A and B are shown apart, each in its own frame.
Chain A
Amino acid sequence: MTPHMLTRSLDRGAAIFLAIVAACGILIPLSNLLLPAGSFLQVPTYLVALWGKYVCYAILALSIDLIWGYCGILSLGHGAFFALGGYAMGMYLMRQIGTRGVYGNPILPDFMVFLNWQKLPWYWHGFDMFWFAALMVLFVPGLLAFCFGWLAFRSRVTGVYLSIITQAMTYALLLAFFRNDFGFGGNNGLTDFKDILGFNVQAEGTRAALFALSCLALIFSFLICRSVVSSKLGKVLIAIRDAESRSRFLGYRVESYKLFVFTLSACMAGVAGALYVPQVGIINPSEFAPGNSIEAVIWVAVGGRGTLVGAALGAIVVNYAKTFFTSGVLAPYWLFMLGALFILVTLLLPKGIVGTFNAWREASRERRPAAASAAAEDGVTEPKMAE
């Protein structure tokens, strides 16, 4: 098989994916708003909120796939960037409450009033403006990722060491955000939002719009990731993933490439978090829990590492299963299933759903050994672990 055909086939997969996301992004909100409640085709509001959440997770999964699938950086702390983006948005939403808080204080959020804070901490200033908050959604996770990556990649912390210190990072942030003195509402986090850009967060129209916006963000993130991985930069990233030392000896500034893609990925995670918060209605430190980040990695593994589409798909599939299995008689067994999924996927489906599907399609279409080995050498469809 020629590389040309391969690209084309992948593009078709990507196109189908984008078409589905776009269709959902348009049809689901329309059906929710225009059709009468209770009619067969109407999507109930609770499903809109639920699927909006999945779409945000899909963006997070994409951001992880970008660095893990294409650059071999396994971050076990990506939930931290997601949560930071979420907190930036949450702070904006808190400031929007204004005098409608339970104490009617025009400036201070409720949790500061009842703990007798007298004035707003400096880092809360500016968040009453949407543009500033939106900027912070990108800037705060980006800056943290940049600093962290700058230190880690330059000193060549790789592989499991990197995974473990990213985990330490998110754990440290978890502890920090738990502290009430830190000024982010402690364990309860930020909640009881009223409106966003003047629209009521609870209103059906706002929910539908947020859903459409999340789909749009997913499409954009996907396109950005695609353009990164299919550019020359992407080839270098794959080279780094497969043989970091060799790439370095060939003269590539490995740390700069890694730093770029890590920061980009963190910003994407931040956007996902920012869209997640108004739809879920709360942001609190548990989003920093190391377990959450690890779970996000498993979405990518389930869907197919290094396939982008698979990452998004994995996030949606696993979360749907979670929603389904945590109700009813199966409720106490959800953790068994999640755990078994982790084990079975890594053992039996190392390429994930999409990766396996791609491999199967290639194999069935091209039975000739020559073509098969060409496909096997291609890094995009055949992710190989950096060791």
Chain B
Amino acid sequence: MTTVATDAVMDYDEAMTKFDPVMGLEVHVELHTATKMFCGCPTEFGAEPNSQVCPVCLGLPGALPVVNEKAVESAIRIGLALNCEIAEWCRFARKNYFYPDMPKNFQTSQYDEPIAFEGHLDVELEDGSVYRVEIERAHMEEDTGKSLHIGGATGRIHGADHSLVDYNRAGIPLIEIVTKPMVGAGERAPEVAKAYVSALRDLLRALDVSDVKMEQGSMRCDANVSLRPRVGEPLDEAQLEVPLGTRTETKNVNSLRSVERAVRYEISRHAAILEGGGSILQETRHWHEDTGITTSGRVKSDAEDYRYFPEPDLVPVAPTRETVETLRGTLPEPPGLRRKRLQSDWGYSDLEMRDVVNAGAVELIEETVAVGASAGAAKKWWLGEPSRRANAEGQDIVTYAAGLGLTPAHIAELDGLVAAGRLNDSMARQVLDGVLAGEGTPTAVADARGLELVQDDGALEAAVDKVIEANPDVAAKIRDGKVAAAGALIGQVMKEMKGQADAGKARELILAKLQ
């Protein structure tokens, strides 16, 4: 075991009084095309090692790559959705390096001629304000193989005595989306970083070009962070003119929560070094999810060390303007507009909608409403126990629910049982607990646990009479028109009925008897 010295960090709030953070995010997205970027090998996740590999993937002599038409279309659609210009003519390039994750000793990428460039994405933050992220470029490239390091204590490169490589992933179409330096976010930089990656994920999902599963690596984020001295408010002219500091690039930050944490950590680490009179080394950093820190990786190569040159085996890509306009016509409703439309359909307030968005439950609620639940019930049940538990597990709610087999149809069924008067709210919560515990569908859980409102009006009426008699003071108040006082009696009626009654009906009966 090697021990990694823990770096000094400055308290975040203190760092913000002294420094202004600037970020740049590079997001790699695997396209979910059926085949690889330059050959017909399948791209299925989780296949047997080296079972989706051919001479093109391996760079064997004589193998000739040919571009995947669908991948180019996806790249253009992504560019258009990010409000980018689409190149009229661009080439692929070889990025040369020696590392066994590419058997060819180069990665086919794009260099100074990206397919898409100069765009932006407006990102809504938790408080509803909007930060515009300027997009530098989106270019096409291929993914690399996956290495397994053997012999090291932690499965990382350090300490390994040999590595095992699976080239199934090598050649899968990848789009790299690079932002311009993100300035002016100030202390909200980590939140902005997370919101950007989240918005990008929603956009790519809506485009249906990628699985965007960060936990499976089909969407990966590298976060560049630098600090410059703070001379004013983040958006002050004087502050924006301060030259950028040296950046570090934190690799493979693979969850939304980690994006926020990693940026925050690097800001605190840079601040401690700069405050101590030191200087930042331009390097890549490894993010450690478990400990929440970064450690030094390799010193970043200069671009010229990659000896880029135009790929001679692939001819230029020159999308006609007609093609571009046709693809523009296939773009989905932008997620921001879609949310506004759904909010209006569902009748949610701004605050309610924001809660739903922040919980990542928009799609779940949409599907739940589509299978028959009311919008209010769908929100109530998804944002209740399932959301709370997903948070506690550090997962997003979609992944969490999928893991437990909780579906929109379950929630709609639960809502149906309540609407039909079979369950009251507290019983429905117990039923949901049962569904979350894997006991089956809501109806099955209700049956198995014997949860059913007593439909016997006689029993309910008897309970109401008993409670009114026992509480003459409260009854008098209600007779005088203080309807709100009925709450106290309803509670007691429910107690009498051991929870197995419809509170609404109890209320009706009480009021009918006392008015």
Instruction: Please indicate whether A and B come from the same complex rather than being unrelated chains.
Output: no
Q: Residues of A at under 8 Å CB distance from B?
A: none
Q: Residues of B at under 8 Å CB distance from A?
A: none
